[in-house]
Amino acid sequence: MNKILEKNLFQNRDHNHQACISEALDTANKICSAHEARFTPIRRRILELIWKSHEPVLAYDLLRILRREKDNTEPPTVYRSLDFLMEYNLIHKIESLNAYVGCSYAHRPHIGQFLICTECNQFVEIDSSKISKTILTEARQSGFEVASQTVEIYGQCPKCR
């Protein structure tokens, strides 16, 4: 394969990650406004924490962090915000990890797939219509009408190979 054609979506250690966070929060703000949904401080903080890294985050890790900031925080506080953020496609759940990630395509409709590196734990969300369409077509071969797809791909990212 032509190296030049590779679009490496994995982030370098030295990228401007504050920009990733800012953009995510900004997008979230716009989307919530557009839907007249309230982007409350807790929801905002949880989204910010999820974007703190490019790795999937566990709900109870979020809980631990929030408890340091406000000691009466309980699981429902976290899960409610996670549910809200998922409802508006601002985050996704990685089912095979019970972990949550920021959505990279929140500003537009998409059917995401996740590449998760087993070495460094970094992930990227891709939106491959080739994958989603192939799944649609192949499922139809069995007379199955697809409503949603969970595609979680494990392996080694470019840096870790």
Partner DNA sequence: TTTTGATATGTTATATAATAACGTTTTTAC
Partner DNA sequence: GTAAAAACGTTATTATATAACATATCAAAA
Residues 1-40: x/- map of binding to Zn ion (CB under 5 A)?
A: ----------x-----x--x--------------------
37 binds, among a copy of itself, DNA, Zn ion, none (CB under 5 to 8 A by kind): DNA
* Exposure class string for 26-64: b at 16+ Cβ within 10 A, else e: ebbeebbeeeeeebeebbbbbbebbbebbebbebeebbe
| Cα–Cα dist 56/94, whole Å | 7
- The nearer residue to DNA, 81 or 113, going by C-beta atoms, is 81
Residues 45-74: x/- map of binding to DNA (CB under 7 A)?
A: -------------xxx---------x-xxx
Q: Give Cα 64 to chain centroid, integer Å.
A: 20
* Exposure class string for 71-89: b at 16+ Cβ within 10 A, else e: eebeeebbeebbebbeebb
Is 113 among the residues that bind a copy of itself (CB under 8 A)? yes
**Between residue 108 and residue 137, which ones bind Zn ion under the rule CB under 5 A?**
112
Is 42 among the residues that bind DNA (CB under 7 A)? yes
Total number of residues that touch a copy of itself (CB under 8 A): 43
**Between residue 58 and residue 97, which ones bind a copy of itself under the rule CB under 8 A?**
95-96
Give residue for tokens 């996740």: 114
| Cα–Cα dist 49/101, whole Å | 10
- The token pair at 156 is 């080694």
- The nearer residue to Zn ion, 70 or 160, going by C-beta atoms, is 160
Interface with Zn ion (CB under 5 A): 11, 17, 20, 103, 105, 112
